[in-house]
């Protein structure tokens, strides 16, 4: 019997952050703060690898047995403070990288894109992600929570640096 390929959809999320794009970018992609906002997906979420174009990156979360599961990607495009695109190649199940199973092949070639647009110290973050229909509802609940956490972290960092729009003199 032949496996049925999943149906994919592209989901779009957006949030306005009262902080410069540089601050939002750093907050989103820095290891320490990534772990905080990405905890909306799974507490303890982290990445291994680099955000530089062409680099492999693993998005991971620990299982109860101590092994890690997650996604295998490559950074398809990287324009600092403007855009980053992840192309997924497979998954990690119980600590083992998988790029050949039906489940792994189903996500191969899907993308997760982050776009940062700044005007007057305020940044709009756009997230476009290819999602299997069976996970669409789950991500529709998780991504807004993750972006709110990213916004709050970024705005706090902008205040710390004196770069929040409210900190600027007229």
* DSSP characters over 39-86: GGTSTT-EEEE--STT-EEEEEEE-TTS-EEEEEEEEEEEETTTEEEE
Q: How far apart are CA 82 and CA 42, in angstroms?
A: 26
Residue range(s) defining the domain that contains residue 42: 11-165
Examine residue 46 and state whether it is found in any structural domain, yes or no: yes
Q: Flag whether 2 is in a domain.
A: no
Q: How far, in Å, CA of 160 to CA of 167, rounded?
A: 10
Residue 3 lies in a domain: no
59's tokens:
């998005």
- Read off the tokens for 105: 């092949």
In a domain, 136, yes or no: yes
Question: Has residue 20 been placed in a domain?
Answer: yes
Q: What is the CATH number of the domain that holds 43?
A: 3.30.530.20
| Number of domains, the chain | 1
Residue at 170 is within a domain: no
Q: Which residue, 29, 6, 19, is CA-closest to 163?
A: 19
Per-residue pLDDT tens listing for the chain (170 residues): 445 556 889 999 999 999 999 999 999 999 999 999 999 999 999 999 999 999 999 999 998 898 999 999 999 999 999 999 999 999 999 899 999 998 899 899 999 999 999 999 999 999 999 998 888 999 999 999 999 999 999 999 999 888 777 776 55
The model's pLDDT over 75-125, given as tens digits with 9 standing for 90+, comes to 999 999 999 999 999 999 989 999 999 889 989 999 999 999 999 999 999
Q: Which long-range contacts (CB under 8 A, 24 or more apart) does 36-40 make?
A: 36/149, 36/153, 37/146, 37/147, 37/149, 37/150, 37/153, 38/146, 39/149, 40/142, 40/143, 40/145, 40/146, 40/149
- pTM of the complete model: 0.89
- Residue listed under structure tokens 């997906």: 41
Q: Is 29 among the domain residues?
A: yes
Is 138 within a domain? yes
Could you list the beta-strand ranges (E) of the chain.
8-17, 46-49, 56-62, 68-79, 83-93, 96-98, 111-119, 122-132
Largest CA distance in the chain: 68
């Amino acid at each position: 019997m032949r496996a049925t390929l999943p149906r994919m959809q592209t989901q779009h999320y957006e949030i306005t952050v009262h902080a410069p794009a540089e601050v939002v970018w750093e907050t989103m992609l820095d290891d320490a703060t990534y772990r905080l906002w990405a905890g909306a997906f799974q507490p303890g979420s982290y990445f291994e690898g680099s955000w530089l174009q062409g680099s492999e990156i693993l998005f991971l979360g620990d299982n109860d047995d101590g092994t890690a599961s997650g996604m295998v990607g490559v950074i398809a495009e990287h324009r600092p403070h403007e855009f980053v695109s992840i192309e997924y190649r497979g998954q990690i199940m119980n600590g083992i990288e998988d790029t050949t199973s039906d489940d792994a092949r189903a996500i191969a070639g899907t993308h997760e894109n982050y776009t940062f647009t700044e005007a007057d110290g305020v940044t709009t973050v756009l997230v476009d992600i290819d999602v299997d229909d069976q996970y669409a509802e789950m991500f529709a609940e998780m991504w807004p929570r993750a972006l709110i956490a990213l916004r709050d972290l970024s705005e706090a960092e902008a205040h710390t640096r004196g770069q929040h729009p409210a900190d600027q003199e007229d």
